[in-house]
Amino acid sequence: MVIFLHIPKTAGGTIYENVIKPNRGKTKIYSDHYPYGVHRLINKFLQKEKAVEYFTWMRDPVERALSHFRYMCSHAKGGPKFESGVGCKYVKHGEKAALEYSCERGAITDIMTRQISGQEGADNLHVPIDNMMRFRIYNPFSTEPREPADYDLETAKEHLRRMVFVGFQSRMDRDVDKLCERFGWKRPKSLRDIHVAKDDRWPVVLPEPTEEQLGLIRSVNKNDIALYNYAKELWW
């Protein structure tokens, strides 16, 4: 089986709609905001040990965090479904207060490292399940941000080395070609940007962040910056 670790705001929705869905008949593919290690839960549910291949998509950490922050803020006016703690802070107090809140509460902190290390939410991998929908045990868009659990950069690096492919949002066309070649999948004629188009419907939040604000984002994403640079050494 193949597992796509869909990291938020890295063009994962575009990969899912354009590449994964059309090729699901050829390969058993699981795709969602999973932590690394979810294959243990899937094997437990299927009651068989199946070989697993992981791949993921990554993005410049500051760009990813900004996009994640803007998503939570802009969609806050879309109704209760999107009313995250960050979104409510944005509606009531503005983008500056919302950014400080999101950094303090871990809402946009080292998301790539947390997900790829597999340590955050790892305890949930051992609970019995009876429904495939419960595989989405890790939700980076949870309604209330929380302090990140312990996670380790070196573990995330080790898991990157085990992956069969890592793509980058900044070179989509080239990496989609390489991904499809790796798995023998049909390459889409064109890539339709799924979530970018949706985000354009909402007012832009923090359109021109100050250097101070960018510094704040960097300060809470030091592990992601290091992991992204390491991924480029392996896969660029």
Q: Residue 108 and residue 104: Cα distance in Å, rounded? A: 9
Residue 72 within any structural domain of the chain: no
Give the E-state strand segments of 116-234 in sequence order: 165-168
Which one has a higher pLDDT value, 202 or 210?
210
Cα angle 193-195-199, degrees, rounded to a multiple of 5: 120
Residue 98 within any structural domain of the chain: no
Q: Residue 191 and residue 15: Cα distance in Å, rounded? A: 8
Instruction: Look at residues 157, 183, 119, 151 and name the one whose alpha carbon lies nearest to residue 235.
Output: 157
What's the rounded mean pLDDT across residues 174-188?
94
pLDDT value, residue 122: 52
Residue 192 within any structural domain of the chain: yes
Pairing of strands 165-168, 53-58: parallel
How many domains are there within the chain? 1
Residues 6+ apart with CB under 8 A from 118: 35, 36, 37, 38, 155, 159
pLDDT value, residue 202: 57
Residue 99 within any structural domain of the chain: no
Hey, is 55 helix, strand or coil?
A: strand
Q: Which of 22-26, 122-126, 200-204 has the lowest mean pLDDT?
A: 122-126
Q: Residue 178 and residue 113: Cα distance in Å, rounded? A: 23
Residue 97 within any structural domain of the chain: no
Instruction: Look at residues 161, 159, 141, 137 and name the one whose alpha carbon lies nearest to residue 75.
Output: 141
Count CA atoms within 13 Å of residue 220 on its CB side: 22
pLDDT value, residue 99: 94
Residue 213 within any structural domain of the chain: no
Give 111-167 pLDDT, tens digit per residue.
Answer: 999 999 987 655 555 544 444 444 444 454 444 455 556 689 999 999 999 999 999
pLDDT value, residue 161: 97
Length of the chain: 236
Q: For residue 163, which amino acid is it?
A: M
- Helices of type H across 82-183: 85-93, 95-104, 111-117, 153-162, 172-183
Residue 206 within any structural domain of the chain: no
pLDDT value, residue 158: 97
Residue 234 scores a pLDDT above 70: yes
Give 30-68 pLDDT, tens digit per residue.
Answer: 888 888 988 888 887 778 888 999 999 999 999 999 999
| Residue 165: strand pairing partners | 55
pLDDT value, residue 225: 98
pLDDT value, residue 44: 79
pLDDT value, residue 133: 43
- Which residue segment(s) compose the domain that 15 sits in? 2-61+109-201+225-235
Instruction: Look at residues 194, 208, 203, 193 and name the one whose alpha carbon lies nearest to residue 75.
Output: 203
Residue 81 within any structural domain of the chain: no
pLDDT value, residue 134: 47
What's the rounded mean pLDDT across residues 179-204?
73
Give 61-95 pLDDT, tens digit per residue.
Answer: 999 999 999 888 877 665 555 556 788 888 889 99
pLDDT value, residue 132: 43
